[in-house]
Amino acid sequence: MNIPLKVHAVVSDPNTEAQIVILKDEQNVELLPIWVGTTEGNAIRFALEGIVPQRPLTHDLLRDLLTHLSIQMEKIVIHDLNNNTYFATLYLVHRRTSEQEGTGSGEFTIDARPSDAIALALRAGVPIYVTEEVLRKKSSENLDEWLERLKPKDFGSYNA
């Protein structure tokens, strides 16, 4: 079963230069932190804060390209955790227009880093899901220890 999540915040890891994307379910029961690079964290933060750069960033470009090709993103799913690395999938639908050859639509998936998938999902306004298996795999002991070290200032400029 897939559990819907929302991006709660992007915070700086107090021990490294990495950014941490904090995902939570609607009931605030499940918490999923994903460590990402500074660039990826900023791309997600920009989308959360509604910052529109003068020129399109990579995720803006990809969203616009998908739109131009009549490909709609339906959702993203964070579906695996292996050796402390998360894996995500983009779920897409190609809706052919009258100008394009062929008719109908086709569904397909693309493997993605969770940071890219989240940045793109926020820009496209599509839901973010995590599988129950991933939530079971995450290490709650390390998470609890990390959460205890956080201070309010670590939550940066966006905290929903």
The pLDDT of residue 156 is above 70: no
The pLDDT value given to residue 77: 98
Terminal-residue alpha carbon distance, the chain: 25
CATH number belonging to the domain at 2-155, selected among 3.90.1580.10, 2.60.120.10, 3.10.690.10, 3.40.50.300: 3.10.690.10
**What does the domain layout of the chain look like in residue ranges?**
2-155
Q: What's the pLDDT tens digit per position in 96-151?
A: 766 656 555 799 999 999 999 999 999 999 999 999 999 998 854 455 555 666 65
Report how far residue 100's alpha carbon sits from residue 154's, in angstroms, rounded to the nearest whole number.
Answer: 49
pLDDT of residue 144: 54
Q: H/E element holding 123?
A: helix 114-124
* DSSP secondary structure of 37-78: -HHHHHHHHHHHHT---SS--HHHHHHHHHHHTTEEEEEEEE
Q: Cβ distance 51 to 115 under 8 Å?
A: no
Cβ-count burial 54-90 (b if 16+ within 10 Å, e if not):
eeebebbebbeebeeeebebebbbbbebeeeebbbbb
- Are 91 and 77 in contact by the 8 Å Cβ rule? The answer is yes
**34-75 pLDDT per residue, tens:** 999 999 999 999 999 999 989 999 999 999 999 999 999 999
Report which of residues 13 and 7 the model is more confident about. Answer: 7
Q: Which residue has the higher pLDDT, 155 or 35?
A: 35
Token pair of 105 as six digits? 């639509």
Pairing of strands 71-82, 128-131: parallel
Ranking 6-15, 27-36, 97-106 by mean pLDDT, the lowest is: 97-106
For residues 108 and 124, give the distance between their C-alpha atoms in angstroms, rounded to a whole number.
17
